[in-house]
Amino acid sequence: NAGVMQNPRHLVRRRGQEARLRCSPMKGHSHVYWYRQLPEEGLKFMVYLQKENIIDESGMPKERFSAEFPKEGPSILRIQQVVRGDSAAYFCASSPNTGREQYFGPGTRLTVT
Amino acid sequence: GDSVTQMEGPVTLSEEAFLTINCTYTATGYPSLFWYVQYPGEGLQLLLKATKADDKGSNKGFEATYRKETTSFHLEKGSVQVSDSAVYFCALSSQGAQKLVFGQGTRLTINP
């Protein structure tokens, strides 16, 4: 059973470009979570999605960031007009149900130049 | 709001030493508590968990006990190995909430 998959693993963008990060949850998991890890810090929750629904986006910056989890295909975290402060590792996690432990992907390391 | 405070690192020990990484939390109700481990360049792996007071989570020689009276979930291992070198994160999930709240992480280095 494949684990949570994220791609790309590394992404370099210039300031002002768009970044698209993809997450494929584990088979049978319909809940997806995105977290951001700034250098030398812990992970901060960004958004929680179920298929076609955003359940909790309390950790998402109000501008430039959006997330989706369509009926078919991976979950996408989209960052428009990236700035240097967006440089971080972005981790996706999935779970089969609410209240269950989360399984993490390897992360996407975004560098904004 | 909910929060987790971990012992600051980095922590450096010799092989076979005893390990304790302190973790305390603030949360309403009865959260579930977790320890995750992150090896260099990788994502987080669940190390152990406890879902109610006085529960003890254990895995790979690591243990942590859910202490509600002291709001703590300290990680311990009796004899560490070089392969235990990693960053360790304490986290909680509050009742009715799905998100994990993480501590800042503790970098552990074990020297042979």
Binary contact (A33, B46; C-beta < 8 A):
no
- Residue A1: its pLDDT value, please? 54
Asked if residue A40 has pLDDT above 80, the reply is no
Contacts of B22 (CB under 8 A, 6+ apart): B6, B7, B72, B74
Percent of chain B with pLDDT over 90: 83
- Residue A99: its pLDDT value, please? 64
Digit-coded pLDDT (tens) for B44-58: 999 999 999 999 999
CB–CB of B93/B2 below 8 Å?
Answer: no
Digit-coded pLDDT (tens) for A54-109: 999 999 999 999 999 999 999 999 999 999 999 999 999 999 876 668 999 999 99
Q: What's at B103, amino acid-wise?
A: G
Binary contact (A105, B43; C-beta < 8 A):
yes
Q: Tell me what the pLDDT averaged over chain A comes to.
A: 93
Residue of chain B with shortest Cα separation from A95: B98
Binary contact (B44, A42; C-beta < 8 A):
no
Torsion of CA B14, B35, A40, A99, to 10 degrees: 170
Residue of chain A with shortest Cα separation from B49: A101
The angle formed by the CA atoms of residues B23, A25 and A37, to the nearest 5 degrees, is 40
Binary contact (A106, B102; C-beta < 8 A):
no
Task: Give how far A100 is from chain B: nearest CA, Å.
Answer: 8
Instruction: State the best of B48, B93, B99, B104 to mutate against chain A, taking most chain A CBs within 10 Å.
Output: B99
CB contacts, 8 Å: B102 with chain A: 35, 42-44
Q: Tell me what the pLDDT averaged over chain B comes to.
A: 93
> In the predicted model, what is the mean pLDDT of residues B10-33?
94
- Residue B94: its pLDDT value, please? 85
> How confident is residue B26, by pLDDT bands cut at 50, 70 and 90?
very high
Q: Distance of CA A7 to CAs A78, B35, B40, B72, Å?
A: 13, 25, 18, 36
More confident residue, B8 or A94: A94
Q: Does A56 touch chain B (CB under 8 A)?
A: yes
Task: Give how far B68 is from chain A: nearest CA, Å.
Answer: 20
Torsion of CA B53, B85, B39, A87, to 10 degrees: 100
- H or E element, residue B110: strand B106-111
Digit-coded pLDDT (tens) for B48-88: 999 999 999 999 999 999 999 999 999 999 999 999 999 99
- Residue A101: its pLDDT value, please? 82
Torsion of CA A52, A106, A79, A26, to 10 degrees: -10
Asked if residue A43 has pLDDT above 70, the reply is yes
Contacts of B54 (CB under 8 A, 6+ apart): B65, B66, B67, B68
Length of chain A: 113
| CA distance linking residue A103 with residue A98, whole number of Å | 13
Task: Give how far B47 is from chain A: nearest CA, Å.
Answer: 11
- Residue B30: its pLDDT value, please? 87
> How confident is residue A17, by pLDDT bands cut at 50, 70 and 90?
very high
Q: Does A69 touch chain B (CB under 8 A)?
A: no
Q: In A1-113, at which residue ranges do the beta strands (DSSP E only) sit?
A: 5-7, 10-13, 19-24, 31-37, 43-50, 53-56, 65-68, 75-79, 88-95, 103-104, 108-112
